[in-house]
Structure 1
Amino acid sequence: MMRITADRDKCIGLGLCEAEAPGYFAVDDDGLVVLLADDVDAGHADAVRAAVAACPTLALRLADG
């Protein structure tokens, strides 16, 4: 299983992650990423990988967990 981490200090709030995987990412009222789930199930792995890859500031990371 993969785990997501987010560095809100790097986030600039473009929302690309939310667009790619809305069940895992959201942008809050401050304009920063919020993780809706930490663990990624296999059925959503491709969408979460695309969301992480789309982040221009590298605020998102995936790790085996």
Structure 2
Amino acid sequence: MIVKDWCSFCGECAGVCPRNLITVKEYALIFDDSECRECNLCVDACPITALERE
């Protein structure tokens, strides 16, 4: 997952992840890609398109 510089760390991506693999900590998004199924719900939920799949 690529988090672009303009990410506001709003947590919308974390809120939609069906596997709870995204954690928002202050000014960082932490992804646990080990169980990610690439559903792209997090990418679609981002209101400012700051997430991108590699």
Shared fold per TM-score greater than 0.5: yes
Higher radius of gyration, 1 or 2: 1
Cα deviation code 1:5-59 (max 9, x no counterpart): 132522101101110015221101x243221226633xx62xxx22211112222
Q: CA 1:38–1:55 in 2, change beyond 3 Å: closer, same or farther?
A: farther
Aligned partners of 2:53 and 2:42: how far apart in 1? 10
| Divergent runs of 4+, >6 A | none
Structure 2's unaligned 5+ residue stretches are: none
The alignment of Structure 1 onto Structure 2 pairs a total of residues equal to: 53
Paired residues of 2:2 and 2:53 also in contact (CA < 8 A): no
Name the structure with the higher strand share. 1
One of 15, 25, 45 as aligned partner of 2:22: 25
What is the root-mean-square deviation in Å for CA atoms of aligned residues? 2.4
Structure 1's unaligned 5+ residue stretches are: none
